[in-house]
Amino acid sequence: MLAPAGVQAAHIGRLWDVFLVTCSIVFAAILIALGVALWRSPRAGEGTPPDVSSVDRHEPGPYRSVVVATLLSVVGLLALLVASVWTDRALAHLPIDDAVHIEVTGHQWWWSVTYAGKPESETFTTANELHVPVGRPVVVKLTSNDVIHTLWVPNLSGKKDLIPGRETVLQFRADTPGVYRGQCAEFCGFQHAFMAFEVVADPPEQFAAWAARQRQEAGTPTDPLLVRGQQVFLGTTCIMCHAIQGTNAHARSGPDLTHVGGRRTLASGTLANTPEDLFRWIKDPQKIKPGANMPASTLPDADLRALAAYLESLK
């Protein structure tokens, strides 16, 4: 959040600077006042009777100090309010001409991501990873499939809730190429801390090439190991939850796996997308992400290795 890579995050970063400076000054002033009060207070021993003479006596000095401190506090709070309102207005005025439109649905504990296409035949779905073009606004429509989640990419924007039965909208623009970590920022269950994702900001031509690849169906494997892996996928319970375009797997209970091999992470940012980690994840997800809806596999290791190799080939 302290390294903004987009205009929305820059607005929030400046607001943070204002709050940090103002509150630091107030905190320092309070400590100084406390120190002065302690230094100037009279000392007493165990037998010294209490001095209550000031209870009924007006003390002009302390009275003025309290009045001035109160007025300064009011002025400071009003200034912070104005800064907050100004920032909120700035966040709401992001130009969204030629925006990329994305729909993100939160699940326990992963993200479904759909890119709206024009025409509709160019719409495609992925999971747990957002690719966006640098310098182009992005409009993200958010909803939840179960409980309240919150999407937060600190380098690019503020937080926005995903609420069951409602649609909310988040707008941002990435101005610097890079990979930015996102996180669910609303406690949503046992694996809330492992509900992460990445936003990959690509130059426009690279984003266009990536989107074109995502619209393609998975090819038919010819390598015997990959053929066996596809057979395992289509012949077991995998097909009941996942989709791979170009096959007869069209379920939507779990992430779309059409191009899973091209993603950077697995299990919503929990593991690196390597053959070994993919094998571990398929074999027993509960050891890695207890409570996830994906059950442990009872298949022989040879079949699991073939399945992992097939999924890794889906770029």
The yes-or-no verdict on residue 256 having pLDDT over 90 is yes
- Tell me what pLDDT residue 53 has: 76
State the residue for tokens 């209870």: 55
The yes-or-no verdict on residue 90 having pLDDT over 80 is yes
178-184: strand order across its sheet: 129-133, 196-202, 178-184, 149-152, 160-162
The per-residue b/e assignment along 61-92, b for 16 or more CB within 10 angstroms, e otherwise, is eeeeeeeeeeeeeeeeeeeeeebeeebeebbe
Q: Which two tokens stand for residue 72?
A: 């300064």
Which architecture characterizes domain 224-312 according to CATH? Answer: Sandwich (2.60)
CA–CA separation, 315 vs 263, rounded Å? 8
- Tell me what pLDDT residue 1 has: 77
Confidence of residue 193 (pLDDT cuts 50, 70, 90): very high
Q: What is the pLDDT of residues 34-46, one digit of tens each?
A: 998 888 887 888 8
Its pTM stands at: 0.83
Q: What is the largest CA-CA distance in the chain?
A: 97
CATH of 100-191, one of 3.40.30.10, 1.10.10.10, 3.30.1330.10, 2.60.40.420: 2.60.40.420
Percent of the chain with pLDDT over 90: 77
- Report cis status (omega within 30 of 0) of the bond before 111: no
The yes-or-no verdict on residue 267 having pLDDT over 80 is yes
